[in-house]
Amino acid sequence: MIISDFFDLIYPNCCTGCNKILGRGEDSLCAECLLQLPLTGFEKEWLNPVSNELFGRVPLKEASAIFYFTQGGILQKMLHTLKYSGGSHIGAFLGKKAGKILAACGRYDKVDCIVPVPVNTRKEKLRGYNQAKVIAEGLLAHFNRPILENILIKPESGDSQTRKNRYERYENMLDGFSLSENIALLENKHILLVDDVVTTGATVERCAKELLKIANVSVSVVAIATPM
Ligand SMILES: [Zn+2]
């Protein structure tokens, strides 16, 4: 406690929304900014803008996003920090909030395990972490399920990509995910696919389609944010 107070004095934690120094018990956001995070409430309804976007493209049990994402809003700042400025604590914070909401709504109770959307290892190395995995780990505080991160594989997009022609690159982009060989343990399971943002749903669609190749699995999707 004393040591942590000492470090807080030297390196005060600031609110990601307004840069104000955070008070005791505040994490990532001050109380005022926390109140400004716009909740979607999508998780309460089977049919919502996110599930509607994916409807007919891939069969999902449930699909939702927890917060609205607005240009210049607090959540945009947080997601930017998470993605580009080494803010893994932001992912943990948002994941924790999302986990509490998922646990409370009851619609995701039958989920057996969590699969974060993978990023290619080059990006992960640059950033130091996969943001979807950090979010997934945050969920566990209230929504405790095993996280399986080596099920979906995102191939490297590097030199090999530039040597391909445009059509091959396009195809590769569409089929950008594959399953590992280690999938027997997922048979008959309900998988929750986790990502940071869902917009057109193209990424979660491709990931879910791969997961649905496993015998008798069902897939649900949750993202932290979707555009308003
Ligand atoms: Zn603030």
Same domain as 23, residue 63: no
Q: What is the pTM of this model?
A: 0.86
pLDDT for the residue 120: 79
Instruction: Quote the ligand 1 centre to 71 CA distance (angstroms).
Output: 17
Same domain as 79, residue 9: no
What CATH number did the domain enclosing 161 receive? 3.40.50.2020
Number of domains in the chain: 2
Instruction: Quote the ligand 1 centre to 21 CA distance (angstroms).
Output: 8
Same domain as 56, residue 21: no
Instruction: Quote the ligand 1 centre to 87 CA distance (angstroms).
Output: 16
Same domain as 168, residue 119: yes
Ramachandran bin of 86, using left for φ above 0, alpha for ψ from -120 to 50, beta for the remaining angles = left
Same domain as 48, residue 11: no
Query: Which has the higher per-residue pLDDT, 2 or 226?
Result: 226
Same domain as 60, residue 23: no
Same domain as 185, residue 117: yes
Contact 78, 17 (CB under 8 A): yes
Instruction: Quote the ligand 1 centre to 3 CA distance (angstroms).
Output: 25
Same domain as 165, residue 70: yes
Same domain as 22, residue 113: no
Same domain as 207, residue 110: yes
Convert the pLDDT of each residue in 134-191 to its tens digit. 999 999 999 999 999 889 988 776 544 455 565 555 555 555 888 988 888 899 999 9
Convert the pLDDT of each residue in 101-142 to its tens digit. 999 999 999 999 999 999 877 777 788 899 999 999 999 999
Same domain as 210, residue 151: yes
Same domain as 42, residue 84: yes
| Domain that residue 16 falls in | 1-36
